[in-house]
Amino acid sequence: MNKLLSIVSLSVLFLWVSGCKEPVIDEGVLPFSEPATVDPSGGNWRTIVLKSTGDISVPQPDAITSDAYKSEFAQVKNGVASLEPEKITAINYWAVGGVTRWNQIARQLVAKYNTESGNPLDATNSPASAPFAARLYAALSVAQYDALVVAWRAKYQYNRPSLVDQGVITRAPVANVPSYPSEDAAVAEVSCQMLAYFFPNEAPWLKTKAAEHKQSRIWNGANVSSDIKGGEAIGAAVTTKVVDRLKTDRFSTANDPNNTWTTLLAKAPYDVKWTSLIIPTRPPILPLAGKVKTWFDSTAIAKNLSAAPPATTSASFQKDLTEVRTMADARTRDQSRIAAKWDDGTGTYTIPGHWNMITEEFIHQYRQNELRAARTYALVNRALQDGGTACWATKFTYFVPRPSQIDPTIKTATIISNTPGYTSEHATFASAATAVLLYLFPDEATTLNAQLTEATLSELYGGTSFRFDNEAGAKLGTAVGTIAVESAKADGAK
């Protein structure tokens, strides 16, 4: 496990040249491995946005005895024998798995756009804040997953033999599944279009990456061109369905263009009201993000929203305030390390992105195929977004101050998030993601619980949250993650 973590940690180092028109990415070459399973019944798994796989029509391909197929096949087989270095580089880059690569690209685009706004009246403060990023990761993962379920259904319906079974020796390992339609083409198209929806200025660069991804499969000897076209059509069709959902999920008003949050603040049932600690003061980050449509059972999530925190006059509150002050006055090196590690502020993947990076480690460790990897990301990211939505709903119900507002002598180790403190976003996100990951990877409980503990305590160690913020966030996140797990148990995957 440690060796794998080291390899993965090195591989995710990236070079980011700010100020360039296009991002410069070097994610390294991850170790290749053939997927542990092929999940032949994956086409029967429950879709998320699509009502069923029948929502997308996939035409029957030409028979492998047809002249058209024979011509395609010959071109691929002959091409594999003589590859230029740049084609080999592309094969290696995408061979780690398209789902993983596009998740990495998504994270890096989030980091690129996760900047402080120069406009003090900008309510979003950052175009790629945690709620924005959680929604992006969830939408991308859901689109990839639904596209792959449709692709898997068509693969085993038409059973066009893999090129490996027809004698082609691929340069990098591939899952030995029916070749039509190409799962990579489906992932490339749906990922490119989804990310272009969130980052329209990146569309030309994203199209270049998608074209390279699709072509790498032909160069590798895994697909013929008609396989690619079949997958491409699925990706485009699924994108339309997912974008339709995004248009009605209420996120478009999360930045509260009419500043209704000030009315909510005045009515907040807490004895001391939150105020921005940024100079000059700014509106909070996405104050209506708590009203965004959830992926899982909204009624069940609402029932688990946090109760009122202890009043500032209570002994319980004063005890927690003293703890933050004492810790800030004598913060240990390890507490500072943990606070910095989980800061996930400006210029990072954000908190949800941090948990996507952790998820990636397990996907590789357990050699999940593309469909199963997409399911893993879709479960984790929907739980993350719903956890964030519930967290924001709580924040903008009570408007609980950060410790430094109550006691300005408290020195923090990290920048204070421009939101109310209750509940802690780190604790909520971490607990929601961990609940799902423990379900998917039960043998990793020791590792996951250690990371959960650090993430949950990180804001307390940094001096930006009270212990009761963390405890309520952990309880809320766990509840949302549990709801996600119960849904996963009925989606047909084993």
User: Domain range for residue 107?
Assistant: 82-247
Say if residue 391 is in the same domain as residue 466. Answer: yes
Instruction: List CB contacts of 4: < 8 A, sequence separation 6 or more.
Output: 361, 364, 365
> Which SS3 state, helix, strand or coil, does residue 368 take?
coil
Residue 153 lies in a domain: yes
Residues 308 and 450 occupy one common structural domain: yes
The Cβ of residue 461 has, within 10 Å, a number of other Cβ atoms equal to: 26
pLDDT at 25: 47
Residue 27 is predicted with a pLDDT of 53
For residues 149 and 296, state if they share a domain.
no
User: How far is residue 213's CA from residue 18's CA, in Å, rounded to a whole number?
Assistant: 25
Distance in angstroms (rounded) separating the CA atoms of residues 459 and 421:
10
Residue 26, in any domain of the structure = no
Residue 356 lies in a domain: yes
Give 283-332 as a DSSP string. PPS-TTGGGSPPSS-HHHHHHT---PPPPTTSHHHHHHHHHHHHHHHT--
189, 222, 247 - which closes a domain: 247
pTM: 0.93
Show the CA angle centred on residue 150, arms to residues 184 and 433, nearest 5°: 75
Residue 487 Cα to chain centre, angstroms? 18
Is residue 49 included in any domain, yes or no? no
How far apart CA 282 and CA 308 sit, in angstroms, is 25
Dmax over CA atoms of the chain, in Å, equals 82
> Up-side HSE of residue 436: CA atoms within 13 Å toward CB?
31
Same domain for 468 and 374: yes
Contact 401, 324 (CB under 8 A): no
Domain boundary among 205, 223, 247: 247
Residue 1 lies in a domain: no
Residue 118 confidence (pLDDT): 55
CATH of the domain at 100: 1.10.606.20
Residue 13, pLDDT score: 38
pLDDT for residue 494: 85
**Per-run averaged pLDDT (10 residues), the chain, 494 residues:** 37 37 50 88 98 97 98 96 93 95 96 74 61 97 98 98 96 95 98 97 97 98 98 98 98 94 97 93 93 98 98 98 98 97 92 97 96 98 98 98 98 95 98 98 98 98 98 98 98 94
Same domain? 86 vs 128: yes
The reply to whether 221 and 289 lie within a common domain is no
Residues 232 and 299 in one domain: no
- N- to C-terminal Cα distance for the chain? 24
Round to whole Å and give the CA distance between 350 and 417: 12
Q: What pLDDT is recorded for position 23? A: 43
Query: Which residue pairs from 446-453 have beta carbons closer than 8 angstroms and sit at least 24 positions apart in sequence?
Result: 447/1, 451/358
Per-residue tokens: 381 = 């990211």
Residue 487 main-chain phi, psi, to 5 deg: -65, -40
- Same domain membership, residue 318 and residue 219: no
Position 400 in a domain: yes
Does 23 map to a domain?
Answer: no
Q: How many structural domains does the chain have?
A: 2
- Residues 189, 434: Cα–Cα separation, whole Å: 30
215, 231, 247: which is the final residue of a domain?
A: 247
Q: Are 284 and 186 within one domain? A: no
Q: What are phi and psi of 189, to 5 degrees?
A: -70, -45
Measuring CA to CA, how many Å separate 210 from each of 97, 194, 200, 231, 359?
Answer: 13, 12, 15, 12, 23
Both structure tokens of 269: 């049932």
Is residue 162 classed as helix, strand or coil in its secondary structure? coil
Are both 292 and 241 inside the same structural domain?
A: no
Collapsing DSSP to helix, strand or coil, 399 comes out as coil
What residue spans of 330-399 are helical by DSSP H? 333-341, 350-365, 370-398
3-state secondary structure of 414: coil
Q: Classify residue 415 by burial, with Cβ atoms within 10 Å: 0-12, 13-18, 19+.
A: middle
pLDDT of residue 128: 66
Residue 455 lies in a domain: yes
Can you say whether residue 117 is alpha, beta or left, with left for phi > 0 and alpha for psi between -120 and 50 degrees?
Answer: beta
- Clarify whether residues 403 and 476 are in a common domain: yes
One domain, residues 422 and 481: yes
pLDDT of amino acid 11: 40
